[in-house]
C-alpha cells in the first residue's frame, strides 16, 4: 500500500516541536477568546485565567470546559468571535431535541478545515488519482462539504452523489470506475448488500475499481469493518475517520493504512482525556471522555469542548512515519452508554458479539425497557435466511448461541429476538441503534 503524506512537515514533526506550537497557539487562543467572545470572557474571568497564566500545556486544566448545552444556550451566534460579515459558511448539527448547535467558519477556517481533511484523506490512501463518491447528505451536516473540499485539495475527482438513491449510487460506481467512497460504515455496508442483491445483472467484478472507504461519523467495530470489506470484495479497504461539527466536522483524526489508531491533527487540535464522572484530567494513555480545544478556529473558537466520546490516546510515533498522536477508535459515547442492572453497556460491545454469527445480518437494534425497577435489554437481529423462522429447533439453537456470546461479554441477562430479513431500519446517515422505551 502506498504511504503518501500530505504535509510531512506537520505530520512528521518532532513531539517537542508539536507541543511548543500547541502551547503558543493555546495562549493566543485564550487571549482571542477573552477579547472576542463575551461568554468566554466571563468564564475565564471567573476562573481567574488569562493568556499569560498559561505557562505549560498542562495549565489548560484551569480553563473551564465548554459543553453542547453552552452552545444551545447561546443559540445561534452567541459563541461567535467575528462579525457576521467575516463568516463565509454556517453549518448546524442535527440535535434530536431543542436547538441545533450552529457553527460558523471564516475563510481562514475553511482553508484550515480543507488542510485537515486533505491530510487524513491521503493518510487513508486517497490521492489525485482517486475518484471518490461522497454519499453523505450535502446540507447542514458537515460530513459532505468537509470531505468534499479536502479531497479536492489533494486533487481527487469528487463525485458529489449525496445520500440515498441506491440505484444511482451503484450505477455511477460502475460507470465512473469509482475508486473510493465516503459514507457512514452502516451505509457503506448497505450499499454493498444492495450491490450483491443485483449481482445477477451487475456482477460484483463491475465494482473492482472500488478499493477505499473513507468512513466515519459513526462508530464501527473491527468486526463490522471486516464485514464491509468482505461484502464489497476486491480488497476493499475501509478506514475510520472522526470529527464533530463543533470542531469543524470531519478532519479531527483519521486512520492511516496501518489502521492502528486515528492520527490527530495536533497542530489544530489539543486533546485531553478526562473522567466523565468527575471531570478530572486522566493520566496519558487512560481511557475516558475526549475533550478537544480547537487551536486555530477563528469564527467559533472552542475551548475544552466535552465530546462525550470515549477513547484513549497513544503518543508513540506510528510506523507510517507520522508522529502525531493517535486516538483509539471511539469505544462509545458517555450518553450512549446504557446502564443495565448496574453494568455499563456500549452498543459496540454487542456489535462485536454479533458479527461473526453467519446466520445473521450486521444490522441490529437495542431496545431498552423499564420493567418494575429494572432496565431490560432486548437485542433484535435480522436473519439472513427468513425460512429459519419456521424451523423452531434451529431457531432456538441460534438464539441460544447469540445469547451466550453476548452474555459472556456483558455478564448480564439480555433477550435476543431474531427477526425477518431486511426488517430493521436502514439509515443513509448515522445509524440509530438504540430504541429507548424507558420513559414511554
- Footprint of ligand DLL on this chain (CB under 6 A)? 93, 142-143, 216-219, 240-245, 249-250, 307, 309, 330, 333
Nearer to ligand DLL, 239 or 323 (CB): 239
CA distance 115 to 7: 9
Cell representation of residue 282: 486522566
Q: How far is the CB of 93 from ligand DLL (least distance, A)?
A: 4
Non-local CB neighbours of 331 within 8 Å, separated by 6+ positions: 287, 310, 311, 346, 348
- Smallest distance, Å, CB 182 to ligand DLL? 8
Min dist CB 176 to ligand DLL, Å, is: 22
Question: Closest distance between ligand DLL and the C-beta of residue 144, in Å?
Answer: 8
Nearer to ligand DLL, 177 or 279 (CB): 279
Q: What is the smallest separation between the CB atom of 120 and ligand DLL, expressed in angstroms? A: 9
The C-alpha cell at 319 is: 510506523
Q: Check: CB of residue 249 under 8 Å from CB of residue 148.
A: no
CB of 329 or CB of 426, closer to ligand DLL: 329
d(CA 271, CA 366): 31
Closest approach of ligand DLL to the CB of residue 311, in Å: 9
Residue with smaller CB distance to ligand DLL, 34 or 246: 246
Q: Which C-beta is closer to ligand DLL: that of 244 or that of 291? A: 244
**Residue with cell string 479536492:** 152
Q: Whose Cβ is closer to ligand DLL: residue 34's or residue 309's?
A: 309
Q: How far is the CB of 337 from ligand DLL (least distance, A)?
A: 12
Nearer to ligand DLL, 23 or 362 (CB): 362
Minimum Å gap between C-beta 214 and ligand DLL is 8
Distance CA(363)–CA(383), nearest Å, equals: 10
Specify the pairing of strand 326-327 against strand 332-333. unpaired
Q: Which residue is nearest to ligand DLL (CB)?
A: 216
For ligand DLL, the closer CB: 236 or 416 = 236
**Which is nearer to ligand DLL, 243 or 362 (by Cβ)?**
243
Amino acid at each position: 500500500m502506498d504511504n503518501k503524506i500530505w504535509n510531512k512537515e506537520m505530520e512528521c514533526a518532532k513531539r517537542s516541536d508539536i507541543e511548543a506550537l500547541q502551547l503558543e497557539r493555546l495562549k493566543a487562543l485564550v487571549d482571542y477568546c477573552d477579547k472576542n467572545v463575551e461568554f468566554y470572557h466571563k468564564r475565564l474571568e471567573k476562573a481567574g485565567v488569562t493568556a499569560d497564566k498559561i505557562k505549560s500545556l498542562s495549565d489548560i486544566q484551569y480553563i473551564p470546559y465548554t459543553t453542547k448545552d453552552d452552545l444551545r444556550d447561546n443559540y445561534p451566534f452567541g459563541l461567535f468571535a467575528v462579525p457576521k460579515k467575516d463568516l463565509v459558511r454556517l453549518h448546524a448539527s442535527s440535535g434530536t431535541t431543542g436547538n441545533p448547535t450552529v457553527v460558523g467558519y471564516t475563510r481562514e477556517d475553511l482553508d484550515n478545515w480543507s488542510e485537515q481533511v486533505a491530510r487524513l484523506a491521503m493518510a487513508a490512501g486517497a490521492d489525485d488519482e482517486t475518484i471518490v463518491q461522497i454519499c453523505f447528505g450535502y446540507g447542514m451536516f458537515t460530513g459532505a462539504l468537509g470531505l468534499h473540499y479536502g479531497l479536492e485539495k489533494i486533487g481527487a475527482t469528487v463525485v458529489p452523489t449525496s445520500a440515498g438513491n441506491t440505484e444511482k449510487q451503484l450505477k455511477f460506481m460502475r460507470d465512473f470506475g469509482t475508486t473510493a467512497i465516503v459514507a457512514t460504515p452502516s451505509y457503506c455496508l448497505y450499499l454493498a448488500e444492495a450491490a450483491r442483491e443485483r449481482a445477477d445483472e451487475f456482477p460484483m467484478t463491475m465494482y473492482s475499481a472500488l478499493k477505499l472507504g473513507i468512513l466515519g461519523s459513526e462508530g464501527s467495530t473491527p468486526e463490522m469493518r471486516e464485514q464491509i470489506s468482505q461484502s464489497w470484495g476486491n480488497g476493499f479497504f475501509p478506514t475510520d475517520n472522526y470529527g464533530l461539527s463543533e470542531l469543524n466536522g470531519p478532519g479531527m483524526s483519521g486512520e492511516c493504512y496501518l489502521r492502528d489508531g486515528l492520527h490527530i491533527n495536533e497542530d489544530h487540535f489539543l486533546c485531553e482525556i478526562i473522567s466523565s464522572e468527575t471531570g478530572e484530567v486522566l493520566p496519558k494513555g487512560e481511557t475516558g471522555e475526549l475533550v478537544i480545544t480547537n487551536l486555530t478556529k477563528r469564527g467559533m473558537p472552542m475551548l475544552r469542548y466535552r465530546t462525550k466520546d470515549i477513547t484513549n490516546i497513544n503518543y508513540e510515533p506510528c510506523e507510517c512515519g507520522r508522529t502525531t498522536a493517535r486516538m483509539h477508535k471511539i469505544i462509545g459515547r458517555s450518553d450512549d452508554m446504557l446502564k443495565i442492572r448496574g453494568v455499563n453497556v456500549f452498543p459496540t460491545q454487542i456489535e462485536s458479539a454479533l458479527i461473526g454469527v453467519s446466520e445473521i445480518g450486521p444490522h441490529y437494534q437495542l431496545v431498552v425497557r423499564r420493567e418494575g425497577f429494572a432496565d431490560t435489554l432486548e437485542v433484535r437481529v435480522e436473519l439472513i435466511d427468513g425460512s429459519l423462522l419456521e424451523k423452531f429447533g434451529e431457531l432456538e439453537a441460534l438464539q441460544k448461541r447469540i445469547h451466550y456470546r453476548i452474555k459472556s461479554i456483558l455478564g448480564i441477562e439480555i433477550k435476543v429476538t431474531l427477526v425477518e430479513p431486511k426488517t430493521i431500519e436502514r439509515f443513509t446517515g448515522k445509524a440509530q441503534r438504540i430504541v429507548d422505551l424507558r420513559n414511554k
